[in-house]
Amino acid sequence: MPKKQKVILILIILLLLGIGVILSVPKDAIVRFFSRSIPTYTYKIINSWPHDESAFTEGLIFEDGTLYESTGRNGSSSLRIVDLVTGTIKTEVNLEDEYFGEGITILDGKIFQLTWLNNKGFIYDQETLLLLGEFTYEGEGWGLTDDGRSLMMSNGTNAITFLNPETFEIEKVITVYNNDEPLVDLNELEYIDGEIYANVWHTDKIVRIHPSSGKILGWIDLTGLYPIEERQDTEAVLNGISYDDATGRLFVTGKLWPHLFEIKLKKQDQ
């Protein structure tokens, strides 16, 4: 047999052997193998401050030394400027009872706030919280952030929609999958160093997402930050991410949580 044909035959045999090995490996083991490349982070608490335990937190922003918070539930929804150290409300705008406040973001001196089921958002002046206008969108409103150019909105599915901040037309939609399954319940969002951080509703986890592809870049496991056994309500879940661009500080809290935390991420050993 010519040497070239021998090489081809050997390659075919090796390929068949490789396929046989793969088929003999349990599916969950294959999934674990390919998932190893996605890092998981835990946390170290750097600081803890009081947080309004009645605040059903839906959005959190720290910008230019000021903490902004959006709260939900019909009849209790608001937009607030909050003192970080004491947790006291410095300025507050209450939404009408028909609105359930949701995510917020700040872009070009304006605060954009979503509502859950009304297909309507509000625009405020960043300094005074004076209402400047309204905008509409399709579907539910959950989390909101921006990359300096576009608004990025979650709606409770595995989709993140990019909106033009002037016309509110859809620019693009990315979808997030975890091991080929749609990662649904993406909630409060924060854009940090070129990544989208998203709370996964009713979990103590935050997922880090590539803003172009929707690929999962990492997981943050905040289990034990506010222990479940200490929570007074089943809806007192992790929800609130804020990043201080000036100092690199990362803040997190939750709905009906008595504390707001500054944390430092630690990569978990694989």
pTM of the model: 0.86
Cβ proximity of 166 and 133 under 8 Å? no
Per the structure block, which two tokens stand in for 70?
Answer: 């959006």
Neighbours of 232 (CB within 10 A): 8
How would you label 69-94 residue by residue, b for 16+ Cβ within 10 Å and e otherwise?
bbbbbeeebbbbbbebeebeeeeebe
Query: How far is 261 from 202, CA to CA, in rounded Å?
Result: 18
Which pLDDT score is estimated for 18? 52
pLDDT under 50: residue ranges of the chain = 6-7, 9, 13-14, 16-17, 19-23, 25, 27-35, 270
Query: How far is 202 from 59, CA to CA, in rounded Å?
Result: 16
CA quadruple 112, 113, 114, 116: dihedral, nearest 10 = 180
CA quadruple 186, 190, 195, 196: dihedral, nearest 10 = 10
Find all residues with CB under 8 Å of 68, minimum gap 6, and list them: 59, 60, 61, 62, 79, 80, 81, 82, 104, 106, 111
Instruction: Please identify, in words, the CATH class of the domain defined by 38-267.
Output: mainly beta
* DSSP per-residue string spanning 35-47: HTTS-EEEEEEEE
Per the structure block, which two tokens stand in for 155?
Answer: 């709606």
Which pLDDT score is estimated for 1? 54
pLDDT tens column, 179-209: 999 999 999 999 999 999 999 999 999 999 9
Three-state secondary structure call for residue 199: strand
Which pLDDT score is estimated for 37? 82
Which pLDDT score is estimated for 16? 47
Which pLDDT score is estimated for 12? 54
Half-sphere exposure of 25 (CA within 13 A, CB side): 13
Please name which of 133, 165, 160, 170 lies closest in space to residue 150, comparing C-alpha atoms. 165
